[in-house]
């Protein structure tokens, strides 16, 4: 059953129990997973303005397209020393778990102190989160 197509009450029996992924119907972004009967999944999705697909998608790894879980693409980021290029933008940047200003261009240069390591994460839909540790 394609979950993007109207959440029909007769798609599954009301008491059909399972895991359901709630997703944004416009972008396909998997939001969260609920474990409940079908009727509860439908009402939860309708109230939240979301779609519901059978199964448990990983929001970091999957999009929901036509009711199917689709693996997100990897970001085409190139690392050269402390410089990143080919960064999709705008994107969210965190360093050591701390939110930083959003990335507004395809190149990012870091100025880290030597003798330490820094965990960097970049998030931008519809890509997989990108993670890299710079060790100096």
Kindly state the average pLDDT of the residues 3-7. Answer: 44
68: Cβ contacts below 8 Å, ≥ 6 apart: 2, 53
pTM above 0.75, yes or no: no
Collapse the DSSP code of 39 into the 3-class scheme (helix H, G, I; strand E, B; otherwise coil) and give the result: helix
> Residue 8: pLDDT band by 50, 70, 90 thresholds?
very low
Please state whether beta strands 51-54 and 62-65 pair in parallel, antiparallel, or not at all (unpaired).
Answer: unpaired
With a cut of 50, say whether residue 64 has pLDDT above it. Answer: yes
Q: Indicate the domain borders of the chain.
A: 17-71, 78-135
Mean pLDDT of the chain: 90
Confidence at residue 2, expressed as pLDDT on a 0 to 100 scale: 42
CA–CA dist 128, 124 (Å, integer): 8
Q: Select from 37, 52, 41 the least CA-distant residue to 4.
A: 52
With a cut of 90, say whether residue 81 has pLDDT above it. Answer: yes
């Amino acid at each position: 059953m394609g979950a993007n197509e109207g959440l029909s009450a007769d798609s599954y029996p009301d008491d059909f129990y399972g895991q359901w992924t709630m997703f944004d119907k416009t972008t396909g972004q998997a939001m969260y997973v609920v474990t409940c009967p079908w009727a509860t999944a439908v009402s939860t999705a309708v109230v939240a303005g979301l779609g519901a697909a059978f199964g448990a998608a990983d929001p970091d790894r999957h999009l929901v397209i036509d009711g199917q879980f689709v693996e997100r693409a990897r970001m085409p980021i190139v690392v050269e020393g402390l410089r990143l290029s080919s960064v999709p933008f705008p994107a969210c940047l965190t360093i050591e778990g701390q939110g930083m200003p959003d990335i507004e261009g395809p190149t990012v240069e870091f100025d880290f102190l030597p003798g330490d390591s820094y965990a960097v994460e970049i998030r931008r839909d519809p890509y997989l989160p990108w993670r890299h540790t710079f060790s100096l």
